[in-house]
């Protein structure tokens, strides 16, 4: 029996969120530890990458869209316990809070640079921005909101032809906030990279909000599973169809490569910044299939993963500082000195080029970091479950 939303968390959603948080740490471990990455090698560049390096980066493509989508679903659950006015106020204040956190605490964790010479508006930034917009959108009739979200997600690639014209002007900044990543020069010593624009992420969050209706207590689990299987399979089928024709939804065309495996990788190599329609279909589709088959999954491993999924923002903050600290420990214990640290005025590591370890060692460090993260996450999850302080909903 499915319990009412206000009395029960949906474990499969926490499980999926926890899994993508673990996978996210792999990508960031590669950023901090992998020697080739630190030397500027793009894992998606077929002239320089290997299949395992490509897939190490590619698998992490699932993280941002699933996280934003499920954030919308979580907002739906909140809306079942509060009035629309209360939800709007919460979204507005939490959205502003997240954007401030991105530009301060999160960015410091990434570069350990208190001068803020290079600031990035990334996934936490866009989560906050989407929440602010959703604070208004939730007042729309549900069917209208659904149509608006679909139009945003399926139609935003029509803007691609004008993306290249963004300049360091107020108009350019506004358009960049809306749709295209761009690096803005504030002055000689400060730059701002807007990496995650609003469109189509706000559409993804709005669809996640609508998606929450599948978890109403009036809908039985068997019916929900059928719907999830149809939706997930439909997204994947549409991705394959559009990608094979290669005429809409992706600006990066796939090509026949030197080997069969690289040709397959070219087929699934789609644009993340901003996320193309095919990128979203490729990631959200399998996520729905995962939810369909794991709703009744109960195991010790599942409970561990769920722990991460119940404290996502806390996990995000702690994992950045933990990984960066481990990178410094590796750096200093391998014979380097603090004098070699580079004060960056661009998007990249402040550790010198060439520093790092092999990919297999990066995987070991990733696993070790995830294990370490379990203990503070378990503590914080237990604390949240036994306390009702207002600030807990912001962390």
Whether 298 shows a pLDDT value over 50: the answer reads: yes
- pLDDT band at 5; cut points 50, 70, 90: very low
pLDDT computed for residue 388 by the predictor: 82
pLDDT at 353: 76
Reported as a single tens digit per residue, the pLDDT across 82-100 is 999 999 999 999 999 999 9
Q: pLDDT > 90: what percent of the chain? A: 72
Mean pLDDT, rounded, of the chain: 91
Whole-angstrom distance, CA of residue 210 vs CA of residue 12: 17
pLDDT, residue 7, reads 41
Whether the per-residue pLDDT at 165 is higher than 80: the answer is: no
Could you report the per-residue pLDDT of 108-154, keeping only the tens digit for each? Answer: 998 887 777 788 999 999 999 999 999 999 999 999 999 999 999 99
pLDDT confidence of residue 349: 65
Question: pLDDT-derived band of residue 190, with 50, 70 and 90 as boundaries?
Answer: confident
The answer on pLDDT for 266 being more than 70 is: yes
Among all chains, which residue has been given the structure tokens 């978890």?
A: 215
CA distance 309 to 326: 23
Q: Is the pLDDT of residue 167 over 80?
A: no
Instruction: Identify the residue whose tokens are 């500027």.
Output: 40
- pLDDT classification of 351: cutoffs 50, 70, 90: confident
| pLDDT of 3 over the 50 cut | no
Buried residues in 138-155 as b, exposed as e (16+ CB within 10 A): beeeeeebbebbeebbbe
pLDDT at residue number 188? 78
Q: Read off the pLDDT band of 18 (50, 70, 90).
A: very high
The arrangement of strands across the sheet holding 118-121 comes to 118-121, 190-194, 182-187
CA separation for the pair 331, 52 (Å, rounded): 25
Query: Can you tell me the mean pLDDT for 208-229?
Result: 94
Q: Report the pLDDT averaged over residues 325-336.
A: 89
Residue 189 has pLDDT above 80, yes or no: no
Compute the average pLDDT of residues 317-324.
Answer: 96
Interatomic CA distance for residues 229 and 60, integer angstroms: 22
pLDDT confidence tier of residue 2, bands split at 50, 70 and 90: very low
């Amino acid at each position: 029996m499915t319990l009412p939303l206000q009395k029960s968390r949906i474990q499969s959603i926490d499980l999926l969120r926890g899994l993508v948080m673990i996978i996210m740490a792999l990508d960031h471990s590669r950023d901090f530890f992998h020697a080739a990455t630190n030397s500027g090698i793009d894992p998606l560049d077929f002239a320089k990458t290997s299949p395992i390096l490509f897939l190490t980066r590619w698998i992490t493509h699932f993280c941002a869209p699933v996280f934003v989508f499920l954030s919308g679903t979580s907002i739906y659950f909140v809306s079942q316990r509060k009035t629309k006015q209360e939800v709007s106020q919460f979204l507005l204040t939490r959205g502003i809070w997240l954007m401030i956190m991105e530009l301060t605490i999160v960015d410091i964790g990434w570069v350990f640079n208190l001068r803020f010479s290079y600031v990035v508006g990334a996934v936490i930034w866009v989560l906050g921005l989407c929440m602010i917009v959703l604070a208004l959108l939730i007042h729309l009739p549900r069917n209208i909101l659904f149509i608006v979200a679909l139009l945003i997600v399926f139609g935003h690639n029509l803007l691609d032809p004008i993306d290249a014209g963004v300049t360091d002007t107020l108009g350019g900044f506004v358009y960049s906030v809306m749709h295209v990543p761009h690096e803005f020069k504030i002055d000689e010593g400060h730059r701002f990279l807007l990496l995650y624009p609003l469109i189509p992420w706000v559409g993804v969050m709005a669809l996640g909000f609508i998606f929450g209706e599948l978890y109403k207590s009036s809908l039985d689990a068997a019916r929900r599973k059928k719907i999830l299987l149809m939706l997930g399979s439909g997204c994947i089928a549409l991705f394959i169809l559009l990608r094979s024709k290669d005429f809409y939804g992706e600006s990066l065309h796939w090509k026949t490569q030197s080997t069969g495996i690289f040709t397959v990788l070219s087929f699934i190599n789609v644009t993340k910044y901003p996320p193309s329609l095919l990128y979203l279909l490729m990631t959200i589709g399998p996520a729905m299939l995962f939810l369909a088959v794991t709703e009744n999954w109960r195991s010790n491993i599942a409970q561990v993963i769920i722990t991460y999924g119940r404290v996502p923002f806390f996990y995000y903050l702690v994992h950045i500082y933990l990984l960066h600290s481990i990178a410094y420990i590796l750096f200093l214990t391998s014979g380097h000195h603090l004098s070699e640290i580079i004060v960056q005025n661009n998007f990249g590591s402040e550790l010198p080029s060439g520093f790092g370890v092999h990919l297999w060692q990066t995987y070991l460090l990733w696993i070790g970091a995830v294990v370490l993260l379990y203990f503070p996450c378990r503590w914080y999850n237990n604390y949240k479950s036994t306390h009702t302080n207002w600030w807990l909903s912001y962390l």
